[in-house]
Amino acid sequence: MDRHAQALQLAEQLLEDVELTRLPVDRLVLKATRLARLTEDEVALTWLAFEVSGCTSSEAGKRHMSRTGRWTDREKGEGTWSPAAAIQASLNSCDQAIQALKVDSVGGEWASIALREQRGSIASLSSTSQALSAILARVTGLIHDFTSRVYHELQFSDAQAGMFETARQDVDARLARLGGEALVKIESINERFRVGDTEAVSHAMTTARRLIDSVADSVFPGRSEPYKIGDEPLVVDESKVLNRILAFLHSKGATDGRRARLRRTFSDVYGRVSKGIHDDVDIEEARFIFLQTYVALGEVVSFA
């Protein structure tokens, strides 16, 4: 199972742990820490470390003290600096002490004084218990917010990946019907991207332009007589690659709006791949240029 799948499975489990109150907070902290490591979430790892080892006097530590309601006197720097496990242990001790005081019988000459002290002790312990419970509730809320965000991001990523994979298979199948040359060019471009240096990127852009040319040659070979769109003649000789693509789209019944959109896309993309041959284009921009080219060509060949 890869990291993405592990993280998604863990996020789903952790959400259930929180929502069904299946684990104490200290155990939730450890599972959330593993999820943060799997997703390489440095922000979450920072505040979760405070719940594992205790808050520090750093700015991040003080912010976490505020987020979790740990301060008793911020100006004096007093508060609950302990980690979640220690707070949970203190809470359990408080609750046990309260229960013990409640069952103790009070009698004898000093009963009224003893009863007053007993009630005072219970009130003090109850106040401490409430404060500790509030801190743990806030920590639980932070874990739930973090886990919920990660879960939905991973789910969205899966959905997007599925959508793009379906589109890729569809486009590849359509390009394959035009002959194996188009797919060979695509593999050549990907190989150049794997090399990644300036010369390789330039070669990739050259191949991307040739890919557009080869698709145009397949769907609408050049001819000497103009192609008419309405009353407007369109030059579609060998050199007019983009005009031939537009003529093909028109001949297949593509709507005016769709042709206009694809015309803008190809005009921009063709200019950019041509620029990439002569000028420096970094690898990141080159990848986006190719993706635009690939998607636009896929839409064109869907009419073939």
| pLDDT computed for residue 200 by the predictor | 83
225 located within any domain: yes
Residues 131 and 268 in one domain: no
Query: At which of 158, 188, 209 does a domain end?
Result: 158
pLDDT higher than threshold 80 for residue 14:
yes
Q: Domain containing 214 — which CATH number?
A: 1.20.120
pLDDT higher than threshold 70 for residue 154:
yes
| pLDDT computed for residue 27 by the predictor | 95
Residues 152 and 13 in one domain: yes
| pLDDT computed for residue 195 by the predictor | 82
pTM given for the model: 0.61
Residues 148 and 236 in one domain: no
Residues 211 and 99 in one domain: no
Residues 131 and 206 in one domain: no
Nearest to 67 by CA among 75, 78, 76, 55: 55
List, as one string, the DSSP characters of 164-208. HHHHHHHHHHHHHHT-HHHHHHHHHHHHHHHH-SHHHHHHHHHHH
Q: Which CA distances in Å does 87 have to 55, 79, 129, 134, 284?
A: 12, 12, 10, 11, 48
| pLDDT computed for residue 248 by the predictor | 94
Tell me the mean pLDDT in the region 238-244. 92
276 contacts 210 by C-beta, under 8 angstroms: no
246 contacts 263 by C-beta, under 8 angstroms: yes
166 located within any domain: no
Query: At which of 113, 128, 158 does a domain end?
Result: 158
- Structural domains in the chain (count): 2
Tell me the mean pLDDT in the region 78-95. 93
Token pair for 8: 């998604």
Residues 51 and 129 in one domain: yes
95 located within any domain: yes
| pLDDT computed for residue 110 by the predictor | 52
d(CA 41, CA 43): 6
pLDDT higher than threshold 60 for residue 15:
yes
| pLDDT computed for residue 278 by the predictor | 56
Residues 145 and 215 in one domain: no
Tell me the mean pLDDT in the region 95-115. 64
153 located within any domain: yes
pLDDT higher than threshold 80 for residue 106:
no
211 contacts 185 by C-beta, under 8 angstroms: yes
Backbone torsion region of residue 179, taken as left when φ is above 0, otherwise alpha when ψ lies between -120 and 50, otherwise beta: left
Residue 112 pLDDT level (bands cut at 50, 70, 90): low
164 located within any domain: no
Residue 95 pLDDT level (bands cut at 50, 70, 90): confident
167 located within any domain: no
182 contacts 175 by C-beta, under 8 angstroms: yes
| pLDDT computed for residue 282 by the predictor | 79
Residues 118 and 197 in one domain: no
Residues 136 and 14 in one domain: yes
pLDDT higher than threshold 90 for residue 292:
no
Residues 281 and 235 in one domain: yes
Mean pLDDT score of the chain: 86
| pLDDT computed for residue 142 by the predictor | 96
Token pair for 81: 């600096």
Q: Which CA distances in Å does 212 have to 163, 218, 219, 220, 295?
A: 24, 10, 11, 12, 11
Residues 88 and 209 in one domain: no
Lowest mean pLDDT segment, chosen from 160-164, 214-218, 286-290:
160-164
Its domain, for residue 141, covers: 3-72+82-158
| pLDDT computed for residue 190 by the predictor | 82
